[in-house]
């Protein structure tokens, strides 16, 4: 997918949840280039975005 130059991770999340609504309730976290990132992070050409699902432990 393609986003404008000033797109943020929140814009990506909106696109993701609109395109794949079943993912929204999973409450995933996002990482950019292998580091957790807040939704306000501006995306750059070539960024790798990962969706990190919640993890259980015990």
pTM of structure: 0.87
pLDDT in tens, 30-50: 999 999 999 999 999 999 999
Domain boundaries, the chain: 9-52
pLDDT digits (tens, 9 = 90+) for 5-34: 999 999 999 999 999 999 989 889 999 999
Going from the C-alpha of 21 to that of each of 18, 27, 44, 55, the distances in angstroms are: 6, 12, 25, 20
């Amino acid at each position: 997918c393609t986003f404008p130059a000033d797109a943020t991770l929140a814009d990506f999340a909106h696109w993701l949840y609109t395109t794949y609504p079943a993912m929204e309730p999973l409450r995933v976290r996002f990482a950019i280039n292998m580091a957790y990132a807040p939704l306000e992070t501006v995306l750059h050409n070539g960024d790798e975005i990962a969706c990190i699902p919640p993890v259980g432990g015990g």
